[in-house]
Amino acid sequence: MKAMNILIIAAHPDDEILGMGGTILKHTSHKDNVTIVYMATGVTARKASEDLKSSEDKKLQNEILELRNDALKAAKLLNVKNVKFYDFPDNQMDSITLLKVVKAIEKEINSVKPERIYTNHYGDLNVDHKIVSNATLTACRPLNGPVKEILSFEVLSSTEWSYPYSFKPNYFVNIKKQLPKKIDAMKMFKSEIREFPHPRS
């Protein structure tokens, strides 16, 4: 079977591990070419508002760097060689135009030429997840591009909180064999793990 080009567009580092870590491992085991693109920094929203302007805030930059290193370790564990980071503001992607996000995603589609794209679910409570999902659909509008399928994944700690637009999956992947490695990949994100019974415990 011919290797597929797979593009994963995640709002934040760890979304893709929570949502589809086992599926990623299945793809790389089948020698598919997997690229992960992270759209937002993943940490800037945790800072006080006066810190948000601080690109020179060393502590904040170190946290972003640490999260990116964790993402690279998790990707390596799942045999993903292509990872890219954008710097859209965390939990503030509604403060920029949708067109900017769409253009960034179009650039990645033109580069990767994916047959299949995975992204966040449009109904998630997290505003960045909604915008990334919407921008992905917009970037993939039918214009004779390479994309044949767009699938969204569930991110526990966000997807289950959205009452009006609950996640109703119609595509399932058996990851029984891949589950231990998915858990190991999630453990790479030390700053994201929470105490039980949190969904990210």
| Residue pLDDT, tens place only, 80-98 | 999 999 999 998 999 999 9
pLDDT at 51 over 70: no
SS3 label, residue 26: helix
| Residue 77 amino acid letter | L
pLDDT at 50 over 70: no
Determine the Cα–Cα distance for residues 201 and 192; give it in Å rounded to an integer. 9
Determine the Cα–Cα distance for residues 53 and 57; give it in Å rounded to an integer. 9
**Do the domain assignments include residue 194?**
no
**Do the domain assignments include residue 177?**
yes
Determine the Cα–Cα distance for residues 8 and 30; give it in Å rounded to an integer. 16
Cα–Cα nearest to 68, from 157, 193, 188: 188
State the pLDDT confidence band at 198, using cuts at 50, 70 and 90: low
**Do the domain assignments include residue 95?**
yes
How many distinct structural domains can be found in the chain? 1
Determine the Cα–Cα distance for residues 45 and 102; give it in Å rounded to an integer. 22
pLDDT of 162 reads 62
**Do the domain assignments include residue 60?**
yes
- The answer to whether 39 and 95 are in contact (CB under 8 A) is no
State the pLDDT confidence band at 76, using cuts at 50, 70 and 90: very high
- The arithmetic mean of pLDDT across residues 20-26, rounded, is 98
Residues of the chain above pLDDT 70, percent:
84
CATH number of the domain where residue 66 is located? 3.40.50.10320
**Do the domain assignments include residue 21?**
yes
pLDDT of 193 reads 63
**Do the domain assignments include residue 134?**
yes
pLDDT in tens, 134-144: 999 999 987 77
Domain that holds residue 39: 5-187
**Do the domain assignments include residue 26?**
yes
**Do the domain assignments include residue 199?**
no
pTM of the shown model: 0.88
pLDDT-wise least confident of 66-70, 120-124, 134-138, 191-195: 191-195
Cα–Cα nearest to 113, from 81, 144, 71: 144
The H-assigned helical ranges of 113-150 are: 127-139
pLDDT of 68 reads 95
Buried b (16+ CB within 10 A) or exposed e, 69-108: ebbbebbebbebebbebbebebbbbeeeeeeebbebbbeb
The enclosing H or E element of 105 equals helix 98-112
The partner residues of 88 in beta bridges, in order of sequence, read 40
pLDDT of 108 reads 98
pLDDT at 201 over 70: no
The partner residues of 34 in beta bridges, in order of sequence, read 6
- The answer to whether 87 and 44 are in contact (CB under 8 A) is no
State the pLDDT confidence band at 169, using cuts at 50, 70 and 90: confident
- CA–CA–CA angle 57, 190, 83 (5° rounding): 75
